[in-house]
Amino acid sequence: MVLHPILQDLVKTPFFRYFKVKLWCDCPFWPDDGMCYLRDCTVCECPESEFPEPFKKSSRLFSADDVICQEGKPQAAVDRTLDDTIFKGWIQIDNPWTYDDETDDAAMTYVNLQLNPERYTGYAGPSAQRIWTAVYKENCPQYPSEEWCNEKKVMYKLISGLHSSISVHIASEYLLDSSANLWGQNVQMLYDRVWKHPDRVRNLYFIFLLVLRAVTKAADYLEQAEYNTGNHVEDLKTQSLVRQLLYNNKLLSACRVPFDEVNIWQGQNGPDLLQQIQNQFRNISAIMNCVGCEKCRLWGKLQVNGLATALKVLFFVDGKNNLQLQRNEVIALFNLLNRLSQSVKFVHDMGPLMEKMERHDSSPTGKTPW
C-alpha cells in the first residue's frame, strides 16, 4: 500500500480536513426514528473562526447555460483522457450524481473531520438495517445474477464495496468496553461481516481501484487546483502531497489503469443506462439523509459524495473534456480514497488471522444477502 502514508498525511492538512455538509435534513422516504447508542456520536461542528478564510469566500458561480448536460446524450461514450483540463478556479455547480443541493451554503456547515473520526457509534437495529435495505433493494432490485449487464454489476459492486469498507472501519475502531472507554479491533465482526464473504472483499478492492482510477484520470486537473487555506506553509505541503500521490512511480508502474471505464455505457442503450444508474445513485445519496446517527450521516454523506465525484470524473462528457469540480467534491474524493485505502490495508494485514479463523470455522460460507 504505497499510497497509504501519503493519503494519511494529506487528509490531515487544513485543506482536506474541513468538509462542508448538510447535517440536518428531512428524510424524504420515512420518519427518522433512529438514534445512537453512544452519547458522543454527535458531530462537533466548526465555529466560523476555525475553518480557513478562503473557504468563506464565494466560489465562481455558473449558470446552467455554462455547462453542457451529459444526461441522455448519444455522445455519452466515454473517453479515457481529459487532455484539455485546466484548473480555472473552484466552482459551484451541483453534482448530477447527488441528491443534495450542494451549493446551498445557508443550510450547510463545516466539520473538522479530524475531530469527528469514523468509528463504532452503536447505531444498529431496525433503523440502521432499513438504510442498507433501501440502498440495496431500491437500487439493486435483485442480487447479482448472470443476467445483469456489466453496468448494473458495477453499481452493485460499488454499493457492496462501500458497505464492506464501512464495516471494516467499524470493526477496526470498536468500543470493546464502554465502562473503561476501551477501543480496539473487533476481529469477529470483521470476519463475520466481510472476510467470510469473498465477494465482499473483492468488491472492496473493486471500489478502491475505481476511485483510484478517477483520481489518476483527473491528475492534471488536481495538480493544478488551488489548495489555498491562507496558510502558505501548509498549502505548499498539501500541493506536494497531492503530486506525490498523483505521480507515484510505484503506483504508475504497477497499476497504470486501475479501472478501465472505456467499455462502460457503450452501444445503443448506453445513454439510457447511464441515466438510469445516475438516478439510482442520486437516490442512494438521498437515503443518506435518513441515517439516524449524526456521525454516521456525516461519513455516509462524505463517502457517497466522494464516490459521486469519482463517477462524475470517470463518466464526464461535454464534448470538450472540460472537467470542473467543486472544492468540496475534491475534499470528499481524497477522503474517500483514504478511507478505502485504510480498509484495504486493514483487511490485508488481518489476512493471516482471518485465515486462521476460517480454518476453525465449520459453518458454510456461501454468498448471502447483506
Q: Which of 75-89, 234-248, 304-318 has the lowest average pLDDT?
A: 75-89
**C-alpha torsion sign, points 346, 351, 356, 359:** positive
Residue 151 has pLDDT above 90, yes or no: no
The gap from C-alpha 241 to its chain's centroid, in whole angstroms, comes to: 20
- Once rounded to an integer, what is the mean pLDDT over residues 144-166? 77
Name the band, by pLDDT with cuts 50, 70 and 90, for residue 361. Answer: confident
Could you give the angle at which helices 270-287 and 150-172 cross, rounded to 10 degrees?
20
Q: Report the share of the chain in percent with pLDDT over 90.
A: 36
Residues constituting the chain: 370
Name the band, by pLDDT with cuts 50, 70 and 90, for residue 105. Answer: low
Within a domain: residue 66?
A: no
Q: Is 163 annotated as a binding residue?
A: yes
Name the band, by pLDDT with cuts 50, 70 and 90, for residue 135. Answer: confident
**Could you give the C-alpha distances from 291 to 29, 110, 127, 188, 319, in angstroms and in order?**
11, 19, 8, 25, 38
Within a domain: residue 189?
A: yes
The secondary structure of 309-361 as a DSSP string is HHHHHHT---SS------HHHHHHHHHHHHHHHHHHHHHHHTHHHHHHHHHT-
Name the band, by pLDDT with cuts 50, 70 and 90, for residue 265. Answer: low
For residue 337, the number of C-alpha atoms closer than 13 Å in the C-beta half-sphere is 29
Residues 6+ apart with CB under 8 A from 291: 34, 123, 128, 131, 297, 300
Q: Is 183 annotated as a binding residue?
A: no
Query: Domain containing 119: what range?
Result: 2-54+73-360
Residue 44 appears among annotated catalytic residues: no
pLDDT in tens, 16-71: 999 988 887 677 776 655 555 445 556 666 676 776 777 766 444 433 343 333 33
The secondary structure of 165-189 as a DSSP string is HHHHHHHHSEEEETTTTEEE--HHH
Active-site residue (options: 25, 41, 290, 293): 293
Q: Is 42 annotated as a binding residue?
A: no
At 74, list the grid cell.
448519444
Q: Is 343 annotated as a binding residue?
A: no
Within a domain: residue 39?
A: yes
Round to whole Å and give the CA distance between 357 and 354.
5
The secondary structure of 190-241 as a DSSP string is HIIIIIT-HHHHHHHHHHHHHHHHHHHHTHHHHHHS---SS-HHHHHHHHHH
Name the band, by pLDDT with cuts 50, 70 and 90, for residue 314. Answer: confident
Amino acid sitting at position 130: R
Name the band, by pLDDT with cuts 50, 70 and 90, for residue 160. Answer: very high
Q: Is 119 annotated as a binding residue?
A: yes
Q: What is the pLDDT of residue 35?
A: 52
pLDDT in tens, 214-240: 999 899 999 999 999 989 999 999 999
Residue 296 appears among annotated catalytic residues: yes
Q: Kindly report the average pLDDT of the chain as a whole number.
A: 79
Could you give the angle at which helices 327-349 and 294-314 cross, rounded to 10 degrees?
100
Active-site residue (options: 25, 46, 140, 296): 296
Could you give the angle at which helices 198-217 and 327-349 cross, rounded to 10 degrees?
140
How many domains is the chain partitioned into structurally?
1
Q: What is the pLDDT of residue 295?
A: 86
User: Which residue has 445516475 as its cell numbers?
Assistant: 278
Q: Which of 235-244, 305-314, 358-367 has the lowest average pLDDT?
A: 358-367
Q: What is the pLDDT of residue 74?
A: 33
Within a domain: residue 45?
A: yes
At 7, list the grid cell.
493519503
Within a domain: residue 188?
A: yes
| Cβ atoms of 182 and 176 closer than 8 Å | yes
What is the four-CA torsion angle of 135, 137, 141, 144, rounded to 10 degrees?
A: 70
Is 297 strand, coil or helix?
helix
**H-helix or E-strand containing 61?**
strand 60-61
Q: What is the pLDDT of residue 101?
A: 63
In terms of average pLDDT, the best of 81-85, 144-148, 296-300, 333-337 is 333-337
Q: Is 97 annotated as a binding residue?
A: no
- Once rounded to an integer, what is the mean pLDDT over residues 85-93? 62
Within a domain: residue 367?
A: no
